[in-house]
């Protein structure tokens, strides 16, 4: 049956990481959701320990689990990174659960698995779950199309521990720019390292890492005598957690298919509707 479930049973992958912690902090705001598993890796020091050691409001006996101990659930929310993504996806398939994933640094094989899984379960992957970033993606694509003769450069800034560079969000922005330029008949390609002069059609991506920066992305469109900058900055990681939980609420109970986060924007003025992309019949 389509539509939201009365009580959405969620299993959280990557529960001991930064995003896992933010999701656990925000789950208490969602009365229609219940956490059935907080999953960590086999080698995690948190495995088997009580959630209450980090989250006083957690149920008294609930513990951090490894994947094989995960009970049946309606949806898996995955922030385990490239190392845990395949296991999260296979578990979702085993239970027939929906999957919402924010894991970045995925391999081509992971991407293929995600696409194949969309024939059996509803899946949604996004590099960034903030509403402001969704708007920035739309603005970036439109601006790059309108200013197709402008040079474009991207910068992303994150904390020192972030494992992927450029960030998944920076790559998504770059893809939006390249898509827009090519729609106008312009050649464009992503460049992650540069020495010497700028090449024709390059969309440069620069990554800065340090301190505890949550996330900042800047898009520069550089023309003759003028420059346009589009920027997005996050100061509270719970922005991503709330967006992911909102996406989970929308996705649960939907038919199999690949869904887009961009279609959450209509929720500002009306009911949320997720567009299916690339779905196949079961």
pLDDT single digits (tens) 191-213? 988 888 898 899 999 999 999 88
Q: Inform me whether the pLDDT recorded for 229 exceeds 90.
A: yes
Assign 169 a pLDDT band (cuts: 50, 70, 90): confident
**Other C-beta atoms within 10 Å of 249: how many?**
19
Is 4 catalytic? The answer is no
CATH 3.30.360.10 in the chain, residue ranges: 131-234
Element (H, E) at 282: none
Which residue among 4, 159, 162, 217 is the active-site one? 162
Burial classification of residue 238, based on how many CB atoms lie within 10 Å of its CB (0-12 exposed, 13-18 middle, 19 or more buried): middle
Instruction: Take residue 239 and report the two structure tokens written for it.
Output: 């922005």
Summarize the confidence of residues 174-184 as an average pLDDT: 92
Which residue among 158, 181, 217, 232 is the active-site one? 158
Assign 223 a pLDDT band (cuts: 50, 70, 90): very high
pLDDT, averaged across the chain: 87
Residues 216 and 231: beta-carbon distance below 8 Å:
yes
> What is residue 270's predicted lDDT score, i.e. its pLDDT?
43
Superfamily of domain 131-234: Dihydrodipicolinate Reductase; domain 2 (3.30.360.10)
> What is residue 263's predicted lDDT score, i.e. its pLDDT?
66
Q: Inform me whether the pLDDT recorded for 279 exceeds 70.
A: no
CATH 3.40.50.720 in the chain, residue ranges: 8-129+237-277
Q: Higher model confidence: residue 282 or residue 106? A: 106
38 closest CA partner among 1, 74, 12: 12
Q: Which CATH class is domain 8-129+237-277?
A: alpha beta
Q: Higher model confidence: residue 168 or residue 280? A: 168
Q: Inform me whether the pLDDT recorded for 271 exceeds 70.
A: no
Share of the chain above pLDDT 70, in %: 91
Is 187 catalytic? The answer is no
């Amino acid at each position: 049956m389509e539509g939201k479930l009365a009580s959405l049973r969620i299993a959280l992958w990557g529960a001991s990481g930064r995003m896992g912690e933010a999701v656990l902090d925000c789950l208490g705001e969602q009365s229609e959701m219940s956490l059935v598993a907080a999953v960590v890796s086999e080698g995690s020091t948190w495995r088997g320990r009580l959630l209450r050691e980090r989250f006083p409001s957690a149920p008294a006996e609930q513990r951090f689990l490894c994947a094989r101990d995960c009970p049946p659930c309606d949806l898996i929310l995955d922030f385990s990174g490239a190392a845990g993504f395949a296991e999260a996806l296979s578990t979702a398939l085993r239970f027939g659960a929906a999957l919402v994933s924010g894991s970045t640094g995925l391999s081509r094989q992971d991407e293929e698995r995600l696409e194949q899984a969309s024939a059996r379960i509803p899946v949604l992957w996004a590099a960034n779950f903030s509403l402001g970033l969704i708007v920035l993606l739309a603005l970036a694509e439109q601006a790059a199309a309108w200013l197709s003769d402008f040079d474009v450069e991207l910068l992303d800034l994150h904390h020192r521990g972030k494992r992927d560079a450029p960030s998944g969000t920076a790559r998504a922005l770059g893809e939006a720019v390249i898509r827009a330029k090519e729609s106008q008949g312009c050649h464009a390609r992503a460049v992650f390292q540069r020495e010497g002069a700028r090449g024709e059609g390059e969309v440069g991506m620069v990554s800065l890492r340090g301190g505890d920066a949550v996330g900042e992305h800047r898009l520069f469109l550089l023309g003759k005598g003028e420059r346009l900058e589009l920027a997005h900055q996050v100061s509270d990681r719970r922005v991503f957690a709330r967006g992911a939980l909102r996406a989970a609420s929308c996705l649960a109970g939907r038919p199999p298919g690949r869904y887009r986060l961009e279609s959450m924007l209509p929720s500002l003025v009306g009911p949320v509707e997720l567009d299916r992309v690339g779905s196949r019949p079961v």
